Amino acid sequence: MYQLNEILENKVINKLILGFERSPDQLNKPHESDAEIIQLNDNIKLAITTDSISEEISTGLYDDPYLIGWMIVMVNMSDLAAVGATPIGILISEIIPKTFSEEKIKELQKGISDACKAYDTFVLGGDTNEGGILILTGTAIGIIKNEKPLTRLGCKPGDIIYSSGKLGSGNAYAISKLISQTNSFSGYKPSAQIKNCKIISNYASCCMDTSDGLISTLDQLMRLNNVGFELVEDWEKIIDGNSLQYAENNHIPPWLLFAGQHGEFELIFTIPQDLKDSFLEEALLTGFEPIVLGIVIPDSKVKIYLYGKMIPIDTAFIRNLPAETKGDINHYLKLLLEYDSGLKNTPSLNFTTH
């Protein structure tokens, strides 16, 4: 676990679960999939996942009750999508402050209800408590119909990396909410890839959502699969228009929209070269247009073409930075910008042939 433990978040998790026995019916090991995968009987595999929204509220990142309601369903559905599961439903535990108005509660519940409708799923139950600040915990369950469940494991050098959609809105939104002296960024309302995940799970060699941003996702896939990723030269095309404009207006290097750790909940997945044509054919039939990000390489590095050269990014530094800067968001951004400046002086690397 040396490689995984280089990332503080992985280390914390590994420490917490150290004394726990694993279920003999669980098909994934820790870190290996976005949702837990349980073999229920010969024919049925369950996917189950839990996610809380608390730090996002306490830091002020989420302050709109409707968005919070939407997100508690969406983040959990996104984990189900990443293992190719069809949702059965969600349970939601709500800790609500006394001071939270009736109007806000209505908005919160409307967000939950709308998200359930969007994913054709249902609130099955929940729990309610009073507390100092609003905290929501969702637990979603689904069924996996594929023989071989989709996990974070399985990509090989040569596979093509795709994103289910354009990236950057999660971090553009986070900058606008958390960094003073930036303009507002509107329209952050991510969608879980419940619909497209069916096709993806038929072809992909591995999959993970960008809940923590693209670089965290690639870094984790790199550590788990012992491979690397090289992003295509014209990676600016991967960023959605509003977010790119927003970064430019606020003098933020666009690639930092991949580095921040508030994601857009797209699926990052890899397709073996020989399956590419049939995958794209089936995808296009449903109107799904996946975006090529780059290629899987043997060398365990994440490389981006920046400032006229292919640069290996210090993804461990980027992933550990929020913990290292202890929640001081301005200091965090300052160090990221310094890292970016440093890259301009990095010697160039040869391209991997592909």
- Min dist CB 190 to a second copy, Å, is 18
Scanning 36-44, 152-160, 174-182, 265-273 for contacts with a second copy by CB under 8 A, the matching segment is 36-44
Q: Which is nearer to a second copy, 17 or 284 (CB)?
A: 17
Number of Cβ atoms within 10 Å of the Cβ of 22: 10
What minimum distance in Å lies between the beta carbon of 312 and a second copy? 29
We find the least distance from the C-beta atom of residue 63 to a second copy, in angstroms, to be 17
Long-range Cβ contact pairs of 249-257 (< 8 A, separation 24 or more):
249/183, 250/175, 250/182, 250/183, 252/175, 252/337, 253/337, 253/340, 254/168, 255/304, 255/306, 255/340, 256/171, 256/336, 256/337, 256/340, 257/167, 257/168, 257/171, 257/172
Task: Say how far apart CA 321 and CA 284 lie, in whole Å.
Answer: 39
Nearer to a second copy, 128 or 184 (CB): 128
233 sits near a second copy (criterion: CB under 8 A): no
Q: Which of 70, 83, 84, 94 binds a second copy (CB under 8 A)?
A: 94
Q: The dihedral of CA 105, 110, 116, 122: what is its sign?
A: positive
Contact 120/87 with Cβ under 8 angstroms?
Answer: yes
**C-beta closer to a second copy: residue 327 or 342:** 327
Q: Which residues are within 8 A (CB) of 5 and not within 5 positions of it... i.e. 6 or more apart? A: 11, 14
Assess contact for 319 and 216: CB atoms under 8 A.
yes
Is residue 46 near a second copy by the rule CB under 8 A?
A: yes
User: Could you give the 3-state DSSP secondary structure of residue 153?
Assistant: coil
Token representation of residue 323: 């913990």
Stretch that binds a second copy, among 10-18, 163-171, 186-194, 249-257 (CB under 8 A): 10-18
Shortest reach from residue 327's CB to a second copy, in Å: 8
Other CB atoms within 10 A of residue 14 CB: 14
Q: Which residues neighbour 294 within 8 Å (Cβ) at sequence distance 6 or greater?
A: 160, 161, 229, 230, 231, 232, 235
From 85-93, 219-227, 273-281, 310-318, span contacting a second copy (CB under 8 A): 85-93
> What are the structure tokens assigned to 2, written together?
């040396």
Interaction of residue 97 with a second copy, rule CB under 8 A: no
Contact window for a second copy (CB under 8 A) among 88-96, 166-174, 181-189, 289-297: 88-96
Residue 4 makes contact with a second copy by CB under 8 A: no
Q: Which of 89, 100, 83, 101 is nearest to 45 (CA)?
A: 83
Minimum distance from residue 342 beta carbon to a second copy (Å): 29
Distance CA 7, CA 216 (A): 10
Distance in Å, CB of 14 to a second copy, minimum: 11
Residues in 258-297 at the binding interface with a second copy, rule: CB under 8 A: none
Q: Which of 5, 14, 86, 109 binds a second copy (CB under 8 A)?
A: 109
Does 17 engage in binding with a second copy (CB under 8 A)? yes
By CB under 8 A, tell whether 49 contacts a second copy: yes
The binder of a second copy chosen from 60, 97, 124, 237 (CB under 8 A): 124
Tell me the HSE value of 116 on the side-chain side, using a 13 A CA sphere: 21
Residues contributing to the site for a second copy (CB under 8 A): 12-13, 15-23, 25-26, 35-36, 38, 40-41, 44, 46, 48-52, 54-55, 58, 88-89, 91-95, 105, 109-110, 112-113, 116-117, 121-133, 135, 137, 139, 141, 143
